[in-house]
Structure 1
Amino acid sequence: MPNANEDNPSALNQVQRRAVSELLRVSPVADDLARRFQDAGFTLALVGGSVRDALLGRLGNDLDFTTDARPEDVLRIVRPWADSVWEVGIAFGTVGSQKDGYQIEITTYRSEAYDRTSRKPEVSYGRTIEEDLVRRDFTVNAMAVALPQNDFIDPHGGRDDLAARVLRTPGTPEDSFSDDPLRMLRAARFAAQLDFEVAPDVIAAMTAMADRIEIVSAERIRDELNKLLLSTYPRKGLALLVDTGLAERILPELPALRLESDEHHRHKDVYEHSLTVLEQAIDLEEDGPDLILRLAALLHDIGKPRTRRFEKDGRVSFHHHEVVGAKLTKKRMTALKYSNDLIRDVSRLVELHLRFHGYGTGEWTDSAVRRYVRDAGPLLGRLHKLTRSDCTTRNKRKANALSQAYDGLEDRIAQLQEQEELDSIRPDLDGNQIMEILGVGPGPVIGAAYTFLLELRLENGPMERDAAITALKEWWATQE
């Protein structure tokens, strides 16, 4: 590798040491593959995110390579060597494979650009690695290590930008974003993942070209948004999307939360509140990033702009914003092509996020607690986290009171669950038993009887069989 930059030699020397360590770890597989390409008359280089992550000391088992070999040649070389091979990305010049626990992607040198009327990039193959690197999104992703000789290739100063923690484009940002507008979202995503700053000229181009994102498919936008949300610093990326106007095109409900207030009608900044709730929800995660929880935290108040009312006493109300917000969440997530299961779960959490505030200091009956658990279903753990995260007041006494109240609710839920198996609440009689007792066959009446018994179960807790039969017969007598 070249000598360290004189302006920051210690930072770059540390970067070099980390990179050497990481490359030595993967070299048995990478060098073996490179020699096979070399023997076949082709070149191979570790490239892009793999080089960036090696320099950052965080290279995983996903390795990206670039080559002058065409896809059909790559397949011919890789098939006898790899444990498995797949061709999902071959239309874009990419061959995937697995070897000794490493996930490997090999892409032919290429250049690609968007037709202004098309949602898909047009791919053409390049002839040199320099030609390939200049078409990449950011300088920190436009570095390569030629194998097996380990020559470091950095024509655009990516290593210096990595040390400075800044995102720049290899060419002009206007050309880069014109070629692939999704790169504007990738700028926000990398800022959130790596905690990097985005160069001023890149931000200016994102702002000026924000409407260009509309040509990108909803699926690609959704995938980038997910990566941003699941990153370490999502607030940073989301704020960049809002400030540049990109959020207005892909998630307009987010910038809409920046509600204006005046001296007569004051309320908390809903936009800042939502970002804080997201961060607080992340702090409560126990098993790694949770997309459902993070989406719900970000979107939980998106019904407020539609429901804001100025009351005569100077207060501002947002009645039923959770119901409106659930509908808006479903609509936006549907437009972004999320799965039905994910839409259902996030919308449900948005709908339920205010339910706890009727709990007060423990006035709920046991039946109300049972309904809370039943309505949350498998989302109860996430609802606990979302509800706790939704407290952003600076009033410590109020915050402590809310926390203690929710502690009390969770204790009651735990006690009832131990007694009654709340997670799988069912009536005390099943459908077959209902039909046998009433002497009727399948039909709507059995569903009505089942609902009656379920409500009875929620209200009173478990019943003895004889008591349930008596209650069912009394209900049946009123139906005839």
Structure 2
Amino acid sequence: MPPRRIDPIAARAFAVEVVEKLRQAGYEAVWAGGCVRDQLLDRVPLDYDVATAARPDDIRNLFGRRNTIAVGAAFGVITVIGSKHSGNVEVATYRSDAEYIDGRHPVGVTFCGAQEDALRRDFTINGLFFDPTTENVIDYVGGQHDLNEGVVRAIGNPAMRFNEDHLRMLRAVRFSANFGFPIECDTEKAIVLLAEKVESVSPERLAAELRLMFSRHGRGEALRLLVGTNLIGPLFDHRLKEAESFWCSASDVLDAMREPNISLAIAVLCYEKPRLAADICNHLRLSNHERKLTVWLIEAIMGLESDSLSAQYTDIPWSVLQPWLAHEWRFYLFDLMQSLAAINLFSTEKVDWVSEQVHRTDADLNPPQLLCGNDLMQLGVPSGPVVGKLLKQLRDLQLDEKIISKEAAIQWVEQHCDSD
């Protein structure tokens, strides 16, 4: 099922409605976190979070249990269900966290006031509150200053924040790269010091963070930061060991992508190493689609740049190129090729020619076969491997326009049988 498309206007209106309903019931309520940050950066928030003095049961009673999901009630988080246009809003009770012992979850929470809630959050730019009714920003952590200065800074002691949740180190990299904000000095030092702890983060959470990191603006800079902060090793189970020049080139390729995703990114990081790519996809527990796409892209690029295809593609039989350029994933392949051209691994002429081919119609790229296996056997070809071999030869002749009709195909088979 394709993801729902959220209407930003409807999403904002619903988030205002949630705050107003909580306030009418006597509870303090504000917007919190990323939606506040994005709004102050003149970006359209992708979703909205609300922080409130209401307790989880109060929230569910107010909005109705059928209209809420207790997604994280133990931590004070309730999802209020909106329309298909507005999306949902997460409502969290102000809380302070007890000690973290697993690098992700506190052993318990204590419900508290707004200031204590702000102080437990990860970065100052994410620790802001906003009152949508008065349009006032509520800042207990210096987040407005850091937004204005353009810096990613951990709230309080950076090492403490990262020990609470090791994934926050990757989030620091993503925010820095996406917003173009440098990571504050002490925050960066803590990441370098604690980088190995990323190994304890679940593969699913790492993959989710990488999907965001490698699909958004600044993905090349994100790779540079992963290398510079020593996160690249533990993030990929120390399987990627490349020279500095490789990382520089890979970053340029990532930046050149037009429709980036995690499969394309890993195909770049594991250039010409399909087995390594499969291992990394399995390590991150990516979906079967993501893993297969990653490996296919690497194998396709290796095929298209092999010594046997060193000539201009126009001089190569179409039957040799068609399995790659008529594939359902051909547009991903073209994106990767044109990105690799940014570091001169493919010529402009080849990229332009491939662009023309992949934009042809499916019927033109992959016309129906002239004959099938039953046709060959009716013509006297014995069943067995020879049928497949002849079909492959016939298909190549068809793609190269040496045989263009069913009648000519039958004649070719009959001649082949006679010669045998």
- TM-score after normalising by structure 2: 0.84
| Residue 143 of structure 1, CA deviation | 0.8
Report if aligned partners of 2:381, 2:387 keep a CA contact under 8 Å in 1. no
1:101 paired to 2:92: no
Q: State the alpha-carbon separation in 2 of the partners of residues 409 and 28 from structure 1.
A: 46
**Residue 340 (structure 2) aligned to one of 387, 390, 395:** 390
Instruction: Call closer, same or farther: CA 1:273–1:254 in 2, change over 3 Å.
Output: farther
The 5 A counterparts of 1:44-443 are: 44-60=29-45, 62-79=47-64, 85-90=68-73, 92=75, 93-99=77-83, 101-103=85-87, 104-112=89-97, 115-117=100-102, 122=107, 124-146=109-131, 148-251=133-236, 256-258=241-243, 269-280=245-256, 282=257, 285=258, 289-296=260-267, 298-301=268-271, 322=272, 325-357=273-305, 358=307, 359-362=309-312, 365=315, 367=317, 369-376=318-325, 377-392=327-342, 402-408=347-353, 410=355, 413=357, 421-438=363-380
2:349 counterpart letter in structure 1: Q
1:32 paired to 2:2: no
| Residue 172 of structure 1, CA deviation | 0.4
| Residue 152 of structure 1, CA deviation | 3.0
Q: State the alpha-carbon separation in 1 of the partners of residues 365 and 90 from structure 2.
A: 44
1:98 counterpart letter in structure 2: G
| Residue 26 of structure 1, CA deviation | 7.7
**Structure 1 residues 326-335 or 464-473, which shifts more?**
464-473
Report if aligned partners of 2:101, 2:107 keep a CA contact under 8 Å in 1. no
Instruction: Call closer, same or farther: CA 1:229–1:69 in 2, change over 3 Å.
Output: same
Which SS does the other structure have where 1:209 is aligned?
Answer: helix
Which SS does the other structure have where 2:285 is aligned?
Answer: coil
Instruction: Call closer, same or farther: CA 1:222–1:25 in 2, change over 3 Å.
Output: closer
**Structure 1 residues 191-200 or 37-46, which shifts more?**
37-46
1:471 paired to 2:412: yes
Q: Residue by residue, what CA displacement relative to the aligned partner does 1:302-347 show, whole Å, maximum 9, x if unpaired?
A: xxxxxxxxxxxxxxxxxxxx2xx11111110111111111111122
Which SS does the other structure have where 1:463 is aligned?
Answer: coil
Instruction: Call closer, same or farther: CA 1:116–1:365 in 2, change over 3 Å.
Output: same
| Residue 274 of structure 1, CA deviation | 1.4
Q: CA RMSD in A?
A: 3.5
1:339 counterpart letter in structure 2: S
Which SS does the other structure have where 2:50 is aligned?
Answer: strand
1:272 counterpart letter in structure 2: C
**Structure 1 residues 345-354 or 329-338, which shifts more?**
345-354
1:186 counterpart letter in structure 2: R
Q: State the alpha-carbon separation in 2 of the partners of residues 85 and 431 from structure 1.
A: 57
Q: State the alpha-carbon separation in 2 of the partners of residues 179 and 140 from structure 1.
A: 18
Residue identity over aligned pairs, in percent, reads 26
Report if aligned partners of 1:230, 1:290 keep a CA contact under 8 Å in 2. yes
| Residue 109 of structure 1, CA deviation | 2.3
| Residue 165 of structure 1, CA deviation | 0.5
Which SS does the other structure have where 1:130 is aligned?
Answer: helix
Report if aligned partners of 1:140, 1:159 keep a CA contact under 8 Å in 2. yes
Q: State the alpha-carbon separation in 1 of the partners of residues 207 and 358 from structure 2.
A: 37
Which SS does the other structure have where 1:196 is aligned?
Answer: coil
Instruction: Call closer, same or farther: CA 1:197–1:112 in 2, change over 3 Å.
Output: same
Q: State the alpha-carbon separation in 2 of the partners of residues 122 and 401 from structure 1.
A: 53
Which SS does the other structure have where 2:341 is aligned?
Answer: coil
2:248 counterpart letter in structure 1: E
Q: Which runs of 4+ in 1 moved over 6 A?
A: 23-27
Aligned residues: 408
